Structure 1
């Protein structure tokens, strides 16, 4: 009997010891878990931002809406950033988080292209109704437009017809719908219409060719960019940097303007808009010709960039190269020309680099050449996660990545934005800015569409007002503005931010009868 009691007693003691050890281990485990979560929260982009009491209340409202949207998506498996933008846009427009972001002062847009700055409504409802516009429609895209006092010489595969006559024959509604289809990539069947990256890029370039004939007509050119600035200003953006090929702007008689004259047009338009809107912080251009060029042409491009920078120091920010990166040529093919340009201390580079899914190729290694060429920012940088040494250099040198989520999705780099590699940049507090690239081409809302997709799809469920605030601050601090210009822009942004927070705070108090 004694042996049985002792045995039972021993088992009881062992059980208690196990429970005690388990209890201690569990508590320590949970404490470690909280420490890791706190560490991750501090490392996320904006993690070091301190919110005041009013911002904290507004943040609670924002995060309630964001959490609800996430929780509903968990049950329905219908998450807006996981769908193609063309299909997700209607739901996005209804999102309370999107509407919050629309009203928020977002600072600056630093990566956007000339032919897709302005909403298509301006071209369709205004520019295309102006007299003397002709259209030439070959059997295959692209179509061509040109303003002229009389019909231009026929192209090989088509004849020029007055748009006014064609619109009258087909009916305004039908013609305008057709025109939109030639200027936009939008379709309700994106996967079928654009089965791979080359097909969507071909279609994309066709829309840009079609639009350019209308936009580069001198009287339209200045109105187009004025309306583009207006669309971003209305979206609570206060500063813009536009990448431009400096296209040949033409007059009705067919005479062409040179690059200096076109740059002057930009300056005049920017000055006019700022005069009409004194709280607008301004705009600059980045000369960005096509990368598909030979060495002699590239030498001329770099020399022209230096010349324009010297002649228009307050308008020209620097130099870049554009075009589908996968089709090259890579930056390393022009190192002699680009290194020669780097001798000019006033000429800054803003290279597209790593806008590709490939790894270990000339295309993604553009990131290495861009950082060694002392690029001021990295355009897209989609492949940067595959180049940790470039990431380290970029972070230490304060070189941000210009992330354009919707562009990367529409142009077939990523289907579900939760899988965008910039998600890792967010979680590690990497220097980055959000931009919209070519919003008119996919009918996005200025900058707000990309801000929403980044906040919901890339930044994760727990990213909050601190992340949005840091993104806005980054956009000004990483801009090409001078120090004085940045200080003035930050003061203006802070004023707008304070007003936004106060309005949101009052909305909440009114809604809950707490005034």
Structure 2
């Protein structure tokens, strides 16, 4: 037996030596195989099948020069924006040439964004909060509450209502507005200390949304707020928007409320007004997305309402989803009977948040399985999808994209360094995905460009180029809830914008290098 083992060991050594010899004899052959390997990987990356024309290739060279420089500088000074919490990385991002390029680029649509965090905080602070009849109630613990009223509302148990105008006068506009911003934003210069875990940051996040909602849901503010939200994305070169909304009750000064049908009409009127003012805007839709922490009877009512609204507003209502911290909410399987009944309506589409968790093998993690089996049109976040190869296979075969929101996942404590985001694997394998910004106002991000930048630099890797950015924009239209005719029209508009963008970048290059 020992002799046989010795012979086997010698035989193995001979095989290894022969293998080593085969690879080491011809270095050029090895390098050729290596280049072939790299080319294969390049072809599989998101956008790898796109062929750039001559002008696009020149613009791509410009882009990749800037990207490579940023990477090289990061290697030397260990200061890489996607590897740092967004609250700390934002200043360097705004100085990035790559970010400035992305800002100018037509990005198509944003498909995952929430109602109470669509519009930059400047509107709420500098406009809405200066309107008359706004009261504030500040209990010892957050959240704070705001309400427009003709006279002071009844005091809450642990705080009294005060006119915002009075408090601003007493404290000074600059000091009060800074305090107001702190109640509407998650920003902090010490994110790790302020939000030590996922539950603490989610609690603070929900507190900011509660504070903002009292201002936003006042009828005269409501339509102005969403108009300004559309404007902020339009200015960021986004031409189409889908907003997840809880359809909150909108109130008037006398305390009367509008119902969900009337609120949907307000959305429609605002979308129509914005498109009338901006004919090249491709439009906007809503996804009815109430809170997930409810009982089965309430879920049945939600789905019935969703079907009713879809029938009444077919061009405005895209479908149905649920919102709220997924880890603490009931899993999708708790409502399977209701969802299967809702699926009987062929016009009602699901856009489920699923897998927005770091856990594996839990009910929450397995929401991904239920979402794909319930024929979800898109999957929101899908942070855990890389742990479910069968879900990935089915999503790819059915063309179900994951809505990736990089900054949200970082700020809300799912991943600290975006180079380690699981969607990096989706990029390298050309998986169907779109980039969205979730709640940009809450972390004071720039509409969609901030997330595009973080995805392009942090998730897609050093070699991802203009083809990846182009594919992301195309995906945002292709995977939208628009009808076929709407998609064709939006795609034609996007190509028009894209060609203009490429020409402008090309001309800038020629001017810069005295080639004219």
Give the TM-score band, short-chain normalised. Answer: over 0.9
5+ residue gaps, structure 1, are 1-16
1:32 Cα shift?
A: 1.4
**Corresponding residue for 1:188?**
189
The answer as to whether partners of 2:137 and 2:159 remain within 8 angstroms in 1 is: yes
Structure 1 residues 222, 18: closer, same or farther in 2, change over 3 A? closer
The answer as to whether partners of 2:349 and 2:376 remain within 8 angstroms in 1 is: yes
1:23 Cα shift?
A: 5.8
Q: Kindly report structure 1 stretches of 4+ aligned residues shifted beyond 6 Å.
A: 17-22
The answer as to whether partners of 2:133 and 2:149 remain within 8 angstroms in 1 is: yes
Distance in 1 (CA, whole Å) between partners of 2:42 and 2:20 is 32
Aligned: 1:324 with 2:325: yes
**Corresponding residue for 1:249?**
250
The answer as to whether partners of 2:201 and 2:413 remain within 8 angstroms in 1 is: yes
Distance in 2 (CA, whole Å) between partners of 1:374 and 1:366 is 12
1:28 Cα shift?
A: 2.2
Cα deviation code 1:88-121 (max 9, x no counterpart): 0000000000000000000000000000000000
Aligned: 1:276 with 2:277: yes
SS in 1 for 2:239: strand
**Corresponding residue for 2:431?**
430
Distance in 1 (CA, whole Å) between partners of 2:156 and 2:318 is 37
The answer as to whether partners of 2:118 and 2:441 remain within 8 angstroms in 1 is: yes
**Corresponding residue for 1:6?**
none
**Corresponding residue for 2:485?**
484
**Corresponding residue for 1:9?**
none
1:371-450 matches, within 5 Å, as 371-450=372-451
Distance in 2 (CA, whole Å) between partners of 1:248 and 1:298 is 18
**Corresponding residue for 1:156?**
157
Aligned: 1:83 with 2:100: no
Question: TM-score with structure 2 length normalisation?
Answer: 0.96
1:285-300 matches, within 5 Å, as 285-300=286-301
The answer as to whether partners of 2:84 and 2:416 remain within 8 angstroms in 1 is: yes
Distance in 1 (CA, whole Å) between partners of 2:248 and 2:414 is 28
1:466 Cα shift?
A: 0.1
1:30 Cα shift?
A: 1.2
Structure 1 residues 20, 331: closer, same or farther in 2, change over 3 A? closer
SS in 2 for 1:242: strand
Distance in 2 (CA, whole Å) between partners of 1:338 and 1:245 is 18
Cα deviation code 1:392-436 (max 9, x no counterpart): 000000000000000000000000000000000000000000000
Distance in 1 (CA, whole Å) between partners of 2:24 and 2:204 is 62
Distance in 2 (CA, whole Å) between partners of 1:21 and 1:458 is 36
**Corresponding residue for 2:201?**
200
**Corresponding residue for 1:356?**
357
Distance in 1 (CA, whole Å) between partners of 2:71 and 2:250 is 47
Structure 1 residues 23, 199: closer, same or farther in 2, change over 3 A? closer
5+ residue gaps, structure 2, are 1-17
Cα deviation code 1:460-500 (max 9, x no counterpart): 00000000000000000000000000000000000000000
1:328 Cα shift?
A: 1.5
1:191-270 matches, within 5 Å, as 191-270=192-271
Structure 1 residues 24, 231: closer, same or farther in 2, change over 3 A? same
1:1-16 matches, within 5 Å, as none
Structure 1 residues 344, 62: closer, same or farther in 2, change over 3 A? same
Distance in 1 (CA, whole Å) between partners of 2:418 and 2:325 is 21
SS in 2 for 1:236: coil
RMSD over aligned Cα atoms: 1.2
Structure 1 residues 261, 21: closer, same or farther in 2, change over 3 A? closer
Structure 1 residues 313, 21: closer, same or farther in 2, change over 3 A? closer
The answer as to whether partners of 2:137 and 2:161 remain within 8 angstroms in 1 is: yes
Distance in 1 (CA, whole Å) between partners of 2:107 and 2:219 is 31
**Corresponding residue for 2:146?**
145
Cα deviation code 1:159-216 (max 9, x no counterpart): 0000000000000000000000000000000000000000000000000000000000
1:18 Cα shift?
A: 13
SS in 1 for 2:403: strand
Distance in 2 (CA, whole Å) between partners of 1:274 and 1:379 is 26
1:66 Cα shift?
A: 0.1
SS in 2 for 1:489: helix
Structure 1 residues 458, 153: closer, same or farther in 2, change over 3 A? same
1:459 Cα shift?
A: 0.1
1:136 Cα shift?
A: 0.3
1:23-172 matches, within 5 Å, as 24-172=25-173
Cα deviation code 1:336-379 (max 9, x no counterpart): 00000000000000000000000000011000000000000000
1:26 Cα shift?
A: 2.1
